[in-house]
Amino acid sequence: MAGKVVTISSGKGGVGKTTATANLGISLASLGKKVVVIDADIGLRNLDVIMGLENRIVYDLVDIVEGRSKLRQSMIKHKKFEDLFLIPAAQTRDKMAVSPQDMVKLTDELREEHDFILIDSPAGIERGFRNALEPADEVLIVTNPEVSAVRDADRITGLIEAAEKGPGRLILNRIKPELVKKGEMLSSDDVVDILGLAIIGIIPEDELVLSASNSGVPVTLNTDSKAGMAFNNVARRLIGEDVPFMNLADDAGFFRRLARLFEGW
């Protein structure tokens, strides 16, 4: 089996990388895929709590890389899904403890027995990002409909392309359809237009994301959550299904769509 390595990155911090990684991991697992999620944010371990696995951690990424633990015994199995595993970040080390080559070696081993290896990249464009980028077959770029977040997404888009890992696909997180409708927020069309990237997910702002992180049960497991449904759709697109985008509200507007219709002329 030749699993696929998908890196989730953003440039700007706090836009929803960890949330996306946790939810995609669960969605892919619930679609029957064998999945490993890796927290590459060394020093700021988070993916474990978002997935509700914090109290099961024995070893971490640096232990594996430095040979203190075997890969298999270091992977934490999810409570609900047999085929979903977490490799947590080290909490007390810094990003220099792992090299891009270490990540390639690790993921090459994981590819043999899993369909997807998701890497939660740290914010920024330094070593941690490089570690997450190096083994990637595909990069998902998470951003928010905000000037600074989109700008940073563009910056890493350039770096991803320079590393020949592009083009990345976009996850636009925390969109508020009411605000877009009022013209008070960048729409998904705007962001796609500006960044010139394909979009793989449009995730609405959803209070249930917070309660999910409080309880350590990612929002895709909540059938009432629109964000959860949207993340589920991203997972299905990742495995190649053609899933229409949810109607979050009239996000584009008639005239802009009309204008787009004429774009080819």
Partner 1 sequence: MASFLNRLFGRARKGSGATAKNRLHFVLQHDRINLPPERMEEMKREILAVIVKYLVVDQERVEIALEQRDRTHSKLVAEIPFAKEKQQIQMEARPETAGTDAQTAESNGAVKSPLAADEEAAPKDESNDSQDAEPVAEVDEASATAPDADAKDNKKN
Ligand X SMILES: Nc1ncnc2c1ncn2[C@@H]1O[C@H](COP(=O)(O)OP(=O)(O)OP(=O)(O)O)[C@@H](O)[C@H]1O
Q: Which chain residues interact with ligand X by CB under 6 A?
A: 10, 13-19, 41, 123, 173-174, 203, 205-206, 209-210, 213, 227
Q: In what order do the strands lie in the sheet with 169-175?
A: 76-77, 84-87, 35-39, 116-120, 4-9, 138-143, 169-175, 198-204
- In angstroms, what is the minimal distance from the CB of 191 to partner 1? 9
Q: Pick one of 7, 9, 10, 18: the residue that binds Mg ion (CB under 5 A).
A: 18
> Which 3 state secondary structure label does DSSP give 204?
strand
Closer of 197 and 235 to partner 1 (Cβ): 197
Q: Pick one of 77, 79, 196, 215: the residue that binds partner 1 (CB under 8 A).
A: 196
Q: Using the rule CB under 8 A, is 176 a contact of partner 1?
A: no
Closer of 193 and 250 to partner 1 (Cβ): 193
DSSP E strands, 83-229: 84-87, 116-120, 138-143, 169-175, 198-204
Amino acid code (one letter) for 260: R
124, 156, 246, 221: CA torsion to nearest 10: -30
Mark residues 46-75: x for contact with Mg ion by CB under 5 A, - for none: x-----------------------------
Helix axes 226-238, 207-215, angle to 10 degrees: 80
Closer of 240 and 264 to partner 1 (Cβ): 264
Q: What residues numbered 157-216 form the site for Mg ion, per CB under 5 A?
A: none
- In angstroms, what is the minimal distance from the CB of 158 to ligand X? 19
Closer of 2 and 261 to partner 1 (Cβ): 261
Burial of 194 (0-12, 13-18, 19+ CB in 10 A): middle
